[in-house]
Amino acid sequence: MSRSSFACQALLQAALLTVVSAIPAPTAFVKNVVPPEPVITPSPVQHHPSRVAGRNILSDVDSDINSILSGLGSDLPSWVASGVPNYFQGFPTGDAVVSSLGLNSAELAALPTNVLNIDPYANWTSSGWNVRFHGNVYKQPNTSISDLNDLADVFLGNTSISDLSESEQKQARNLTAEILVVQQPDVAVNTIHLEPAPSQGSSGQPGGGGSSNTTGGTQDLTLPYNTTVEGDFDTFVPISSNGLTAGNETSAIQRLNVHVEGATIGNSTAYLVPPTGLTVVSDIDDILRVTKIYEPEQGLLNSFARPFRPWENMPDIYRNWSISLPNLHFHYLTTTPEQVTRNYMQFIYDNYPGGSFDTRPLNFSDVSATLSIRKFLLKKVFETFPHRKFLLIADTSNSDVMRDYPEMATDFPGQVQCIFLRNTSATDSGDKFPYDTSGFEKLNQSNYMFFLHPDDLTNLDIANGQCYNTSIPQNLTFSYQGLPLGLGDEPTAVNGSANHTAESAASLSMMGGTNRQGLVFLIVLATVSFMIL
């Protein structure tokens, strides 16, 4: 055994001795709770340019993870503890892009202005329809193919762009160009034009689902605020009905085409969502598309070079839901960076029912912010639609999902209809990230399910709250799963839904619980030890 391996195992044993107290779990689902009135929730970006530190909107994040890593006196990557891959961190923005491309002020000023216009949702309040417009204003430098090849190599890690096929090289260059844009701070967003979107696909078709034939809503409007220091905009704006059906008079979703004047690619679709009904809030990576975010080399290639492809037959599941669940609203929430949003939006439109979108704004750029943005955006959509019920869908490789989804059931009683989590470690041997299932211990089994394949989600009466397929193998203990070096359960232990047995997860549960820092210390060391071994 090498000295480093021996040292890591010794540190692990020392960490186990710090285990002293249990982690509190969310309480059970509460039914028949009267929701509050719909509100227009605050945006994750300020209306006036300012630095991130002044926003005071980040949730309580595991800052002790970073302190532990720094305390080890090493350059261990923070994604070892967080589960967030480092290739989705630290994209250059603004002045850094200008400097890297050698642009001068005259060249920059001559570039046309473009707008990333992210598909918004709208809610109905006593004042009418309110649309949440959000996106980014930027300029796209003219970068040569040779420069894009050189820059793409930076994002491809150990792979050279010359090793890729021609189609993969083209995708790598396109994505690199999308990343290397110059955001425009403190500028007004051009006039936004709205009109009915009757051309959207029908239920059961890619890009369709849950939409009525919208007949009104044509109008022009301007946003009340300039962009932030990162070029972002995010604000609710009331719109005139102009023939739209009032939200309290319909259960159908109405759609409007959204175009920003003067922006050749600034188009999106707004989803006017009634106060009641079902909304699917879905992650994308490794639940809707094959990413392998837990294998950095494969994750890089699947994100930057290879065509996006659906995970198994998941499009069939969503297509069936769009047909069988009346007026279902799909909301796609991913914490991938804003710069790569267009690829994700196009992938969804080509393979899944159309829906509104949330991605990570540019001011949420480091690991701590990445781990907090999902909860912030979840709370935003829940507060915006307090009378709707939600299906939450993701996979176990995201530490923030494993924490945030059960917490939403506690924080918003009666609103979480179902939680569906793909157990990636049971179906993909490359997933070595530990994950914590303790948050589900006191939740009602009928409201959540860990599953292996899309077909596990068939034959469920979701509309009436049946979210648990009893035919799926059950073997879940409520603690950390998939720890290396034989700690905790094997990665395949959670291979279906919980059976609520009180059996411990090997070494961890036998200790009777952990204190917060001791457990984080244990997880970091265990994962690092596995990587070294």
How would you write 305-372 as a 3-class SS string? CCCCCECCCHHHHHHHHHHHCCCCEEEEEEEEEHHHHHHHHHHHHHHCCCCEEEEECCCCCCHHHHHH
Q: How confident is the model at residue 520 (pLDDT cuts 50, 70, 90)?
A: very low
Contact indicator for 358, 334 with CB cutoff of 8 Å:
yes
Whether 275 has a pLDDT exceeding 60, the answer reads: yes
Q: What is the pLDDT of residue 375?
A: 92
Q: What is the pLDDT of residue 91?
A: 61
Amino acid at residue number 408:
M
Q: What is the pLDDT of residue 181?
A: 86
Contact indicator for 242, 218 with CB cutoff of 8 Å:
yes
Q: What is the pLDDT of residue 454?
A: 97
233 forms bridges with which residues in the sheet? 135
Percent of the chain with pLDDT over 90: 44
- Report how far apart, in Å, the C-alpha atoms of 307 and of each of 107, 166, 169, 302, 322 are: 33, 12, 11, 7, 25
Q: How confident is the model at residue 78 (pLDDT cuts 50, 70, 90)?
A: very low
Q: What is the pLDDT of residue 171?
A: 93
Q: Sign (positive/negative) of CA torsion 290, 83, 356, 209?
A: positive
> Worst-scoring range by mean pLDDT, 73-77, 93-97, 183-187, 466-470?
73-77
Q: What is the pLDDT of residue 209?
A: 67
Q: What is d(CA 298, CA 159) in angstroms, rounded to the nearest whole number?
A: 10
Query: 387-403: per-residue pLDDT in tens?
Result: 999 999 999 988 889 99
- Averaged pLDDT for residues 484-512: 41
Whether 349 has a pLDDT exceeding 60, the answer reads: yes
Most confident of 35-39, 314-318, 508-512: 314-318
Whether 460 has a pLDDT exceeding 70, the answer reads: yes
Q: What is d(CA 24, CA 84) in angstroms, rounded to the nearest whole number?
A: 24
Q: What is d(CA 293, CA 273) in angstroms, rounded to the nearest whole number?
A: 32
Written as six digits, the tokens of 278 are: 């079902």
Q: What is the DSSP letter of 28?
A: P
Q: What is the pLDDT of residue 457?
A: 96
Q: What is d(CA 181, CA 97) in angstroms, rounded to the nearest whole number?
A: 7
> Worst-scoring range by mean pLDDT, 182-196, 364-378, 498-512?
498-512
Q: What is the pLDDT of residue 273?
A: 96
Q: Which residue's structure tokens are 């849950």? A: 210
- Angle 480-61-69 (CA atoms, 0-180°, nearest 5)? 70
Q: What is the pLDDT of residue 477?
A: 80
Q: What is d(CA 31, CA 433) in angstroms, rounded to the nearest whole number?
A: 34
Query: 156-212: per-residue pLDDT in tens?
Result: 888 999 999 999 999 999 998 888 888 899 999 999 999 998 656 655 666 676 667
Whether 338 has a pLDDT exceeding 90, the answer reads: no
Nearest to 395 by CA among 527, 280, 281, 283: 283
Per-domain boundaries in the chain:
77-141+181-481
Q: How confident is the model at residue 234 (pLDDT cuts 50, 70, 90)?
A: very high
Contact indicator for 282, 332 with CB cutoff of 8 Å:
yes
Q: Is 126 helix (H, G, I), strand (E, B) or coil?
A: coil
Nearest to 477 by CA among 433, 513, 439, 438: 438
Within 10 angstroms of residue 56's Cβ, the number of other Cβ atoms is 6
> Worst-scoring range by mean pLDDT, 31-35, 46-50, 250-254, 275-279?
46-50
Q: How many CA atoms lie within 13 A of 398 on its CB side?
A: 27
**Virtual CA dihedral for 338, 343, 347, 350, nearest 10 degrees?**
120
Q: How confident is the model at residue 214 (pLDDT cuts 50, 70, 90)?
A: confident
- Averaged pLDDT for residues 468-484: 78
Written as six digits, the tokens of 42 are: 């605050």
Q: How confident is the model at residue 142 (pLDDT cuts 50, 70, 90)?
A: confident
Nearest to 462 by CA among 353, 354, 317: 317
- Report how far apart, in Å, the C-alpha atoms of 78 and of each of 75, 366, 435 are: 9, 10, 16
- Averaged pLDDT for residues 265-290: 94
Q: Is 238 helix (H, G, I), strand (E, B) or coil?
A: strand
Written as six digits, the tokens of 224 are: 């009340």
Torsion angles phi and psi, residue 173, rounded to 5: -65, -45
